[in-house]
Amino acid sequence: MLNIITGRSGCGKTRRVSQILAEIAAGGEKCMMIVPDQSTFENEKMFLRLLGPKLAGNVLVFGFTRLCKYIFENTEGKIPLCIDDGDRQLVMSLALEETAQNLSLFSSEKRRGEYIKTLLQTVTDYKKWGITPQMLEDVSSKTKDKMLKAKLSETALVYSAYDAILNDDRENKIDPFDMTEAAYDRLAGTDLFKGMVVAVDSFRDFTGRQTKLLSKIMERSSQFYMTVTDDPTAPDGSGLFASTRANRRIFENQAKENNIEISKPVVLQENKRFENDELLYLERGFLSGSSETCDDAVENVFLSRCGSIYSEAENVACEIKKLIIEENFRYGDISVVFRHGESYAPVITTVFDKYEIPYFCDIPEDISVKPLIRLIKGCISAAVSGFDREEVLKIMKTGLTNVTAYETSVFENYLLMWSITGKNLTKPFTANPSGFGAEMGKKEQAELMELEAIRQKIMTPLMNFKNSCDDTGCREISKSLYQLLKDLHTEEQLENMYQSLSKLGLENQSEEQVRLWEMVMGILDKMVLILGDSRLSLKRYSELLDLQFQASEIAFIPEGLDRVTMGQADRIRLNGAKAVFIVGAIEGQFPTVPVEEGIFSDREKKELYNLGLPASDFFEEVLNKEKFIAYYALSASSKKVFVSWYRTSLSGDENEPSVIVREILRIFPQIHIETDEFLEPEQVLWCEKPSFELCAKKYGDRTSDGFAFGLVKYFENSEEYKNKMKALERAVKRSHSVIENPDTAKALFGKNFAMSASQAEKYHLCPFSYFCTYGLKAQERKTAKMTPSEYGTIIHYTLENYFKDFDREKILTKEEIVSKVQELLEQYSEKYLGEEAKENHSLMFLMEKLRDNAAGLIERISEELSQSEFVPRDFELSIGKDIEPYKIETEEGASISVYGVIDRVDVMEKNGETYVRIIDYKTGKKEFKLSDILFGLNMQMLIYMEALCQGTGKYKGTKPIPAGILYMPSGSVFVDSDFSMDSGKIQQEIDKERKMKGLVLNNDTVIKGMEKNVGGVYLPVKLNKSGDKYTSTESLVNAVEIKRIFDKINSILKKMVKELLNGKIGQIPAKGTTDACAFCPYWQVCGYEEGMESREVFKLSKADVMEILENEEGGQ
């Protein structure tokens, strides 16, 4: 007998049918309850509560999946192996591949991935409604629509191939959407379900095959109960209950055809769920077409309009906290419903974590982002790409290999430095780990050995894997992949990860590692099960495996019962909810407006229906189902309903509220729409994290606002937030970073400072940048490419070795210079660059360009030295080895030792005196400004000169007199010219650019010793036409002025050390004639913005500088 129990939502249909089954079970008889798969657990709990553990076993609670399994287990024949979504995608990919030559609509290789999903959904729809390939061919012959005919023929072809691949083996595989049909076939010739009482509850609709199976069960059962959500008083064809009413009619017709008695329907009218009249008004009035309204004040239905999806989630979190704390709700009483989980779930879960709200999210996680899956995909991609560097590094960064995080870091730095990728990763490393121009000392050799060991650790298994996968089949590739994971010690690393996460109390995350490993092993088994020994390339194997990964999901059982349940409206079960939050009530989204998607248009579906195919999901049907889903969500709560939407999307589009909101406004004229603009601050005080955010927003009002003052005091007294409050104060006041504890500063920088001159300049460009570089030692990655620094290194090497044996009497020709330079560059490459550099074509091209520039520079220097009385004495003179470092003692007891390397030292012995000048090769455009020293900049050469004049080391026993510091341009020279300039004029402009800049001792002997004619060709000094005075004195300094400059530098260095030991590392960059922020690698962390405090650097004449220094006592 067919027994229909009907009524609107909340009338107790499930309760009534459960009581009927409970009474039968209590009498010792077996009965069955068929519910949606996701509801089985809740229903089993219900019967356990009603009957106790002993009798509850008399009620079999099944979803369709377990129902089919029950039939297979209790009938003769093998239990079929049901494939999952990943297998289905794999089989569809193979079906498309097999039929590709006979397809025109679905033949594009580029869109193969899109076709797999579209055709799989189409085949799924066919199977749901019992449509066979032959039926498609039959209908194809009837239609005159050429496009529709082609769609039917091609989908029938792919459908047939899909089934053939599934059936062409001995493993008895079955598509999950064939399970109900197979179960139906198994029932033939058996007595299963005969005389049993069966109930079907909580379904919104059924597929054709589900209806067929249930009809067979109904035919055999003694009593067949079916609950239907419907309102018998509503007019026929009512949109809200159209789908459920259609299902009822199908079963009533089936009963009549099979002479099954139909009892009088039980109509439940009294609502058993709602605890207030407002929810009853809402359930009865939603989309009813009724004009009846609730004109009282509304206390249990809430509308909220929010600014963004994030503020909407915050609003929900605040309301939940309020329910828990003020109204004694439990988290388990609350549900959050959205229509589209992909946009809402990540936002809401993030906000709930912040508000410390425990939750269970009914949205399975995508596994493609998990470390194990990234490792496997990376390994295959690395092999297919010929070991692309990025793919290899992705593997190492998963943390699931036998390579440590430190080893990964140094390995990555080395690869990036030398641009190593592809086949070069399969060869032993030989290049210097320190980069261009570095000696291959013991330290470098040890580092290189370490790097080579890392390379072998990661590359040997990868190369073995690649070699074993050449020209083979799926089975062998799967075996090789498993062996690769063993060679990389992946399972051991997963075990370590499991243990670490378990110790932190992260049970879900730790369990996830075990489940993922088991899932991957299962996927590999299924690949072999479906493909066997089929020969395929590693790339094709990767594509098929990726389909498996894309279709695989991982979900967890809630860690505790008292949790907010959140989920997608068409999936979530809302049994026992006391408060339901419906989010995203936006026009077109909730309810979702159907759009044409898939292969067949709505018009074509209707034509197929008219031609005899049981096609479904027309626009009207889908729209009715969407309305019912909204109705179900609105009527599921027993106490409170909250509905919200957000106005502006991330792309800036304005959203309108959906029919859900419009209907609530119609039913409740007195309802007030809350907005997040007017939320009370107290609403976020349920948890510390959002409260601290509010504290940060109101920090500026703390002196005038008592509420803000209280928040600030609370967090200032919190151990956890104490340091954050200090950081907040600095941010609000825009105060500078400081190391508050002097002991920390001393531990970080040391009391005895050993530094380079450029290091001192770094501090005066920006103290914070100095702190990052030399305190935290946060260094930029080096790359072995022709940077200005590397260009300078090679130029220095070339000039040093060329002029080491320079003889002004034997000046080489231009051709001879080029030849000599080429020889020196080859020596440099062999000594410092290694074999990798020879294969770097761009580097070799730049070396050729450098040769020509170096040859031109040498020609110019040779000319200058041939007329000069100054002779090169030392090249790359080391301050610290060749001569003692420059040392200063501070009043605080600290010491400063400045080290460095002087490019070239020239000496002139004359009249019993030793004059020295320092030459610095500059590949960039270095403009020397004496006024820079007032700001702690451009001090390097002056410090070097002071160190040299100490007369130590190689210069011990001499009393060197500082003759000058000169910057010699050594890069390419470019001048502005036009077609009217002749070659002579152009050369004059080039010579002007090549002129040395800097300071020269104001001494005729020295000046003429440097440039015989003092014509300003080489020096920044020139005699007037009369030859009795110099036309420019900006670059001339006397001995007294040099002394004052040295005193000023000493004062600046002492002050710098004092400030560092006091923790002064503020973000105060130099601005003006120099910009410390330009190209600074730390701009993302310093927090400096234009307009904040800076050190203004400006240019002064030499006279102004000397006046300032003269007025300063002792350089202070």
Q: Which two tokens stand for residue 1085?
A: 């962390």
Instruction: Give 199's strand partners.
Output: 33, 225
Q: Which two tokens stand for residue 393?
A: 């590094």
- Cβ atoms of residues 847 and 829 within 8 Å: yes
The helix/strand/coil state of 1104 is: helix
Instruction: Give 33's strand partners.
Output: 61, 199
What one-character DSSP code corresponds to residue 781?
P
Angle between helix 179-187 and helix 208-220 axes, rounded to 10 deg: 20
Distance in angstroms (rounded) separating the CA atoms of residues 989 and 982: 11
- Cβ atoms of residues 181 and 209 within 8 Å: yes
Question: What is the CATH code of the structural domain delimited by 2-79+178-272?
Answer: 3.40.50.300
Question: Of 676, 716, 711, whose CA–CA distance to 697 is shortest?
Answer: 711
Query: Could you write out the three-class secondary structure of 590-657?
Result: CCECCCCCCCCCHHHHHHHHHCCCCCCCCHHHHHHHHHHHHHHHHCCCCCEEEEEEECECCCCCECCE
Give, for 1025, the enclosing helix (H) or strand (E).
Answer: none
- A 10 A CB-CB count for 565 gives 23
Distance in angstroms (rounded) separating the CA atoms of residues 176 and 181: 10
Residue type, 375: L
Instruction: Give 901's strand partners.
Output: 878
The helix/strand/coil state of 33 is: strand
Helix-strand-coil split of the chain, %, nearest 5: 50, 15, 35
The helix/strand/coil state of 1079 is: coil
Q: Which two tokens stand for residue 717?
A: 């007294």
Q: What is the pLDDT of residue 1113?
A: 59
Largest Cα span, the chain: 133
Distance of CA 865 to the CA centre of its chain: 58
- A 10 A CB-CB count for 227 gives 27
Distance in angstroms (rounded) separating the CA atoms of residues 536 and 507: 40
Q: Which residues contact 1023 (CB under 8 A, 6 or more apart)?
A: 1014, 1015, 1029, 1030, 1031
Q: Which two tokens stand for residue 42?
A: 């809740």
Distance in angstroms (rounded) separating the CA atoms of residues 129 and 108: 29
Distance in angstroms (rounded) separating the CA atoms of residues 932 and 1072: 11
Q: Which residues contact 914 (CB under 8 A, 6 or more apart)?
A: 907, 908, 958, 959, 960, 961
No. of helices (H) and no. of strands (E), the chain: 40, 27
Residue where the block lists tokens 């010929």: 386
Domain 2-79+178-272 and domain 278-364+562-681, same fold? Reply is yes
Q: What is the pLDDT of residue 1115?
A: 45
Cis status of the peptide bond prior to 591, with omega within 30 of 0: yes
Distance in angstroms (rounded) separating the CA atoms of residues 770 and 1064: 11
- CA 734-740-744 angle, to 5 degrees, is 135
Q: What is the pLDDT of residue 12?
A: 92
Q: CATH classification of 367-554, choosing from 1.10.486, 3.40.50, 2.40.128, 1.20.1740?
A: 1.10.486
Q: Which two tokens stand for residue 644?
A: 């919200």
Q: 10-residue block means of pLDDT along the chain (1116 residues)? A: 94 94 92 92 90 92 94 90 88 90 82 84 90 92 91 93 82 87 91 94 90 94 94 74 88 93 93 93 89 90 93 92 92 94 89 90 80 94 94 94 94 90 92 78 92 96 94 92 95 91 83 89 89 89 89 69 89 89 94 85 87 80 89 95 90 89 95 77 78 84 81 88 84 80 88 90 93 88 69 82 80 86 84 66 75 86 91 92 92 90 94 94 79 93 93 90 92 65 71 87 94 90 86 90 93 93 91 90 85 90 92 62
Q: Which residues contact 70 (CB under 8 A, 6 or more apart)?
A: 60, 62
Distance in angstroms (rounded) separating the CA atoms of residues 152 and 130: 15
The helix/strand/coil state of 997 is: strand
Instruction: Give 564's strand partners.
Output: 359
Give, for 869, the enclosing helix (H) or strand (E).
Answer: none
Fold (CATH) for 788-1047? Lambda Exonuclease; Chain A (3.90.320)
Burial environment of residue 453 by CB neighbours within 10 A (0 to 12, 13 to 18, 19 or more): exposed
The helix/strand/coil state of 895 is: strand
- Long-range Cβ contact pairs of 416-421 (< 8 A, separation 24 or more): 416/781, 416/783, 417/781, 417/782, 417/783, 417/784, 418/784, 418/836, 418/837, 419/783, 419/784, 419/785, 419/836, 419/840, 420/389, 420/836, 421/387, 421/388, 421/389, 421/390
Distance in angstroms (rounded) separating the CA atoms of residues 858 and 817: 8
Q: Which two tokens stand for residue 914?
A: 């030793």
Domain segments of the chain: what residues?
2-79+178-272, 81-171, 278-364+562-681, 367-554, 687-733, 742-747+767-778+1049-1115, 788-1047
Q: Which two tokens stand for residue 32?
A: 């069955």
The helix/strand/coil state of 763 is: helix
Give, for 565, the enclosing helix (H) or strand (E).
Answer: strand 564-568
Distance in angstroms (rounded) separating the CA atoms of residues 339 and 569: 5
Q: Which residues contact 826 (CB under 8 A, 6 or more apart)?
A: none
Distance in angstroms (rounded) separating the CA atoms of residues 940 and 926: 13
Task: Write down the H helix ranges in 74-201.
Answer: 85-99, 112-128, 133-140, 146-167, 179-187
Question: Of 338, 335, 302, whose CA–CA distance to 320 is shortest?
Answer: 335
- A 10 A CB-CB count for 653 gives 8
- Cβ atoms of residues 322 and 696 within 8 Å: no
Name the CATH architecture for the domain at 278-364+562-681: 3-Layer(aba) Sandwich (3.40)
- Cβ atoms of residues 904 and 948 within 8 Å: no
Angle between helix 490-503 and helix 371-384 axes, rounded to 10 deg: 160
Q: Backbone phi, then psi, for 117, in 5-degree steps?
A: -65, -40
Mode of pairing for the β-strands spanning 673-675 and 752-756:
unpaired
| Average pLDDT of the chain, as a whole number | 88
**Whether pTM exceeds 0.85:** no
Mode of pairing for the β-strands spanning 640-646 and 579-582:
parallel
HSE at residue 156, side-chain half, CA atoms within 13 A, is: 17
Q: Backbone phi, then psi, for 555, in 5-degree steps?
A: -135, 160
Q: Backbone phi, then psi, for 228, in 5-degree steps?
A: -135, 125
> What is the sign of the dihedral through the CA atoms of 48, 53, 58 and 60?
positive
